[in-house]
Amino acid sequence: MPELRLRPLPVRTVSALARQHGLDLTRFAYLVCGDRDRADDLVQDALLAMHRRFGADLAVDDPLAYARRAIVNANISWSRRSVRRELPTEAVPDRSTELTAPDDELWQLLQTLGTRPRAVLVLRYYLGYPDAEIAQVLGCRRGTVRSIAARALADLRVRLTTHQEDLS
């Protein structure tokens, strides 16, 4: 008697994709990035992006291939970031739920910048906005955001160095 091979049901939703292929996608992501925790994050981000884009009905020919491509793209984007937001640490400091005042010296230097450079730095480093969202908020292109941020940071470095030399 020939062996009966069952074909998996076609994937029509993101939750079905996660149930049927979640472990395979996580293994794939691990192979792509080499880090277990980041692999989990990449899979979750890919599935979330697919849900945001397609909603309840996955209107794509091969959802598994689409998810893999999203994982690869997310990993490339992560590795291209020059400054990573996550840093390994031995102990996690206890943070208050209340907002704390920024460092006075840095705050004063930040106030010396123009409106747009200051807005870019606050949106990027205080609120954690990606360049695309900052560009949308400011009504400009992502490249403009990056160049404004680079010039503002260079300006702050010069001002901070000058300020520290004045204190010495």
> Amino acid letter at 143?
G
- Backbone Cα Rg of the chain: 22
The answer to whether the pTM exceeds 0.75 is: no
Determine contact, residues 81/38, Cβ cutoff 8 Å: no
Per-residue model confidence as pLDDT tens digits over 73-127 = 788 787 766 455 556 666 655 544 444 445 667 777 877 887 778 778 877 887 7
CATH topology classification for 104-167 = Arc Repressor Mutant, subunit A (1.10.10)
Per-residue model confidence as pLDDT tens digits over 1-58 = 566 555 555 678 888 889 999 998 998 888 877 788 988 999 999 999 999 998 878 8
Q: Phi/psi at 55 (nearest 5 deg)?
A: 70, -140
Structure tokens that stand for 135 in this block: 């560009």
pLDDT average, residue stretch 140-148: 93
Residue 123 burial by CB count (10 A; 0-12/13-18/19+): exposed, middle or buried?
buried
Q: CA–CA distance from 144 to each of 66, 84, 90 (Å)?
A: 30, 21, 37
- Chain mean position to CA 110: 24
